[in-house]
Amino acid sequence: MSAILKRCLWLFPLSCFFLSYQTLYPSPVGDGTHQKTVEENLMNSGSGLAGTPPLGWNSWDGYGTTINEEQLKANADWFAKNLKPHGWQYVVLDMEWFVKNPTPEGNSKNSVYAMDPSGRYIPAENRFPSSAGGKGLKPIGDYIHSLGLKFGIHILRGVPKDAVQDNLPVAGSSFRAAEAANKEDTCPWNPDNFGTNPGTPASRAYYDSIASLYASWGVDLIKVDCISSNPYKSEDLRMIAEALAKTGRKIVLSLSPGPAPFDKTDEMRKYAQMWRISNDIWDLWHSDDPYPQGLGDQFQNVLKWAGVGQAGHWPDADMLPIGYLGPAPGWGQPRQCRLTHDEQRTLISLWAVFPSPLMIGGDLTKADAWTVSLLTNPEVLAVDQHSKGNHAVVHAEDLAVFVAEPENEDGYYVAIFNRSNSAQKIRYSWEQLGLPQKTYMLRDLWERNNLGENTAISIDLRSHASMLFSLKPSRVSAH
């Protein structure tokens, strides 16, 4: 045997050792090659996603955790017929679609879970019969895609407790669920999962396994809960974003609940497309409790985050609790939205001028003409989808005024909100609002009426009411 051959045979086991070690324990983030690959994956996965604030429907406000396949498809059908022509895209299945015995509010300690042999939640067949035979949510994803829509789901960070207790294998790896989990870390308000061991190969492998499964189902948006507040989980955010990037599928990452920490804005922009700025908003004006919050409580959060949104990355003011909140809402009893019509327009106007993603809640199949009018006004939607420079010029306890600009034309948008419990007479010159010209052509966007040339805004607003205007330079001002 030659000396060269002997040396090669001696080195072979050693090279195998190093190869195995590198597979189990990849190079740290500080390694230039690994870091470059991670960054490229993230950039490629996020490129082109959520160029404007996403528009969609979420099942939580109408169905809590109880929705079934028939109800989901019925809402998707209505959505495709009535909202898709106006630019709406996403149909999102909210939390605990894997629970066989759901309750409207969810988070039950008595839940019975559907799970695959690799410790990953799968849809409960008694609620989603098309998932039988290991098909998962792919048949539903295919159905929603056939309507020309995009499909979203809700998950919770971490590893299922049942998977950890049975120490199930993690798909695509040599790890077990118990290695990926931290039993000392649980979501404060939901008992389904343990937290992860942040940054460990086992935790990364578990997130990789569920991301691969969801991508195979055709998921286009994932709302991850218990990650952006109470507490904020930086490492889980990074691992989930990297796992989604590895799938090669374009998937919007939405973070919940709020309020997300303002000082983490850059990190959330790096890894996610949406993040919540508040706790849940329901159909009331004010709440003294942390959960839920009301429409009037959201002004302080919008004032804080206004102007932070940019293409691909949007602060999220939460779902729109309008229309019929039933048959099993995530909070309270089945009901028609309790906000007045004035307050409902204020809700949409505030979200639009912010701008925020718009995710309608409620049972769409029972939407009345008023609710449809709120969701399909093209001039109001244009403020949400195509405005820039959004900021408050007046912010007081009883009044707020926001100004923004259209993306691709001259002029301004002005939104005025009466936050008080009584009517107000409101008058501002353009100069007081920081606008350069003396005269503008004024248009009421909700009523879609031209109001002629004006040198100021002078309006009477009922309690909690608002008005949303477009301003175009007038011929008088141009000379």
* Domain shared by 409 and 323, yes or no: no
The answer to whether position 1 is within a domain reads: no
How high is the pLDDT of residue 43?
67
The answer to whether position 304 is within a domain reads: yes
What the block records as the tokens of 292 is: 């839920």
Task: Name the domain count of the chain.
Answer: 2
Query: Which domain CATH number covers 295?
Result: 3.20.20.70
* Domain shared by 338 and 460, yes or no: no
* Domain shared by 409 and 358, yes or no: no
How high is the pLDDT of residue 33?
52
User: The domain containing residue 359 runs over which residues?
Assistant: 45-385
How high is the pLDDT of residue 317?
98
Q: Which amino acid is residue 262, in one-letter code?
A: F
What the block records as the tokens of 272 is: 């996610």
Q: Which amino acid is residue 107, in one-letter code?
A: N
Please state the pTM of the whole predicted model.
0.91
* Residue 242 exposure: Cα atoms within 13 Å on the Cβ side: 20
Last-in-domain residue among 385, 405, 423:
385
* Domain shared by 364 and 408, yes or no: no
Task: Report how far apart, in Å, the C-alpha atoms of 15 and of each of 3, 7, 351 are.
Answer: 18, 12, 58
The answer to whether position 255 is within a domain reads: yes
Last-in-domain residue among 322, 351, 385:
385
* Domain shared by 368 and 413, yes or no: no
The answer to whether position 322 is within a domain reads: yes
Query: Which domain CATH number covers 460?
Result: 2.60.40.1180
The answer to whether position 123 is within a domain reads: yes
The answer to whether position 331 is within a domain reads: yes
Last-in-domain residue among 385, 417, 451:
385
* Domain shared by 354 and 462, yes or no: no
Across 255-291, b (16+ Cβ under 10 Å) vs e yields: bbbbbbeeebeebbbbbbbbbbbbbbbbbbbebeeee
pLDDT tens per residue across span 184-229: 999 999 999 999 998 899 999 999 999 999 999 999 999 999 999 9
Low-confidence ranges of the chain (pLDDT < 70): 1-41, 43-46, 476-479
The answer to whether position 279 is within a domain reads: yes
* Whole-angstrom distance, CA of residue 206 vs CA of residue 229: 22
pLDDT tens per residue across span 271-281: 999 999 999 99
* Domain shared by 363 and 239, yes or no: yes
